[in-house]
């Protein structure tokens, strides 16, 4: 592994997803986490790249922390909760200044679902009541959260207004992408509720990437349809459902051309995080 982008795990999910955290407290927890991540990455800064945790409970402080994380800590991206926090959605008008600042900073926006349902409106709550909660949340929560975030950012014009904003939709598999892009294009053409200059699918293809699992056979079909510039790799290390330590062995067993392998493993990730090729 030449370079790894490092993300929060369950503890960070609860920091950014809890509705009832006091805004100043949520921001302080994010700063503490990001400081720890900076120290961890300092052991090998050329290889370890931090992704900053931002508190949607406090938008002004989230903007301030994004600026600090990129300009002072050297992070290459930011992450926020995909689900509503205190009823606030990623594509609400009040969140717009955050996207403006992240676009200006040139950092990536990295969206990652969760199965722990910290917030009152988290879609995972309905799956956690199922007799097979882990199966249901892992199979359904991650992709439905990411689909909602992708559709929301597209259909409210966030991606239209921020064409230089690079967005990664992570750890939710990729096989559903053709259906979602087809459906958004189809429904937008029928209802035209948002003034967009492009088809919804074109915004994804212009400025977004989606992650595949190391053993995800459907990734070949998705790339055959949309090209190999849209896909990055997710190892999910060290979570118990990750492919570690066989992730790369399984990836190279997939029927992918060498060019696509290079794009997925390096070129697309380097472009997302603005790394030297």
Which CATH number goes with the domain that contains 47?
A: 3.20.20.140
CB 230, CB 209: distance < 8 Å: yes
Judge whether 155 lies within some domain: yes
Residues listed for the chain: 277
| DSSP per-residue letters across 52-120 | EE--TT-HHHHHHHHHHHHHTS--SEEE--SS-BTTB-TTSGGGHHHHHHHHHHTPEEEEE--SS--ST
Residues 56-85: what's their mean pLDDT?
96
List of residues 6+ apart from 44 with CB closer than 8 A: none
Per-residue pLDDT at 244: 82
Residues 134-145: what's their mean pLDDT?
91
Judge whether 277 lies within some domain: no
Per-residue pLDDT at 277: 60
Residues 63-76: what's their mean pLDDT?
99
Judge whether 32 lies within some domain: yes
Residue, of 180 and 8, whose pLDDT is higher: 180
Judge whether 142 lies within some domain: yes
Per-residue pLDDT at 76: 99
pLDDT at 159 over 70: yes
Into how many domains does the chain fold? 1
- pLDDT category at 161 given cuts 50, 70, 90 is very high
pLDDT at 14 over 80: no
Q: How far apart are CA 69 and CA 49, in angstroms?
A: 11
What tokens does 251 get?
A: 């990836």
Task: List the domain range (segments joined by +) for residue 235.
Answer: 4-272
Judge whether 30 lies within some domain: yes
Judge whether 184 lies within some domain: yes
Judge whether 104 lies within some domain: yes
Question: Distances from the Cα of 190 to the Cαs of 51, 122, 178, 186, 245, in angstroms?
Answer: 38, 29, 18, 7, 47
pLDDT tens, position by position, 205-250: 999 999 999 999 999 999 999 999 999 998 877 777 777 888 999 9
List of residues 6+ apart from 245 with CB closer than 8 A: none
């Amino acid at each position: 592994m030449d370079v790894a982008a490092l993300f929060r795990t369950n503890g960070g999910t609860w920091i950014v997803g809890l509705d009832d955290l006091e805004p100043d407290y949520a921001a302080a927890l994010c700063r503490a986490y990001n400081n720890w991540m900076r120290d961890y990455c300092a052991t090998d800064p050329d290889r370890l790249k931090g992704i900053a945790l931002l508190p949607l409970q406090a938008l002004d402080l989230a903007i301030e922390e994004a600026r600090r994380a990129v300009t002072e800590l050297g992070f290459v991206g930011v992450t926020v909760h995909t689900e509503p926090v205190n009823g606030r959605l990623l594509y609400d008008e009040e969140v717009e200044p955050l996207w403006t600042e992240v676009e200006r900073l040139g950092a990536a926006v990295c969206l990652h679902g969760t199965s722990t349902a910290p917030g009152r409106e988290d879609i995972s709550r309905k799956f956690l009541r199922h007799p097979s909660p882990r199966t249901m949340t892992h199979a359904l929560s991650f992709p439905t959260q990411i689909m909602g975030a992708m559709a929301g950012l597209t259909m409210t014009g966030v991606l239209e207004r921020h064409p230089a904003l690079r967005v990664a939709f992570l750890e939710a598999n990729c096989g559903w992408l053709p259906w979602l892009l087809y459906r958004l294009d189809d429904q937008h053409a029928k209802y035209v509720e948002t003034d967009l200059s492009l088809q919804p699918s074109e915004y994804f293809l212009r400025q977004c990437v989606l992650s595949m699992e190391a053993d995800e056979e459907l990734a070949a079909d998705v790339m055959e349809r949309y090209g190999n510039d849209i896909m990055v790799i997710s190892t999910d290390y060290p979570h118990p459902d990750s492919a570690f330590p066989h992730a790369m062995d399984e990836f190279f067993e997939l029927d992918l051309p060498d060019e696509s392998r290079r794009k997925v493993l390096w070129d697309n990730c380097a472009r997302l995080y603005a790394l030297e090729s």
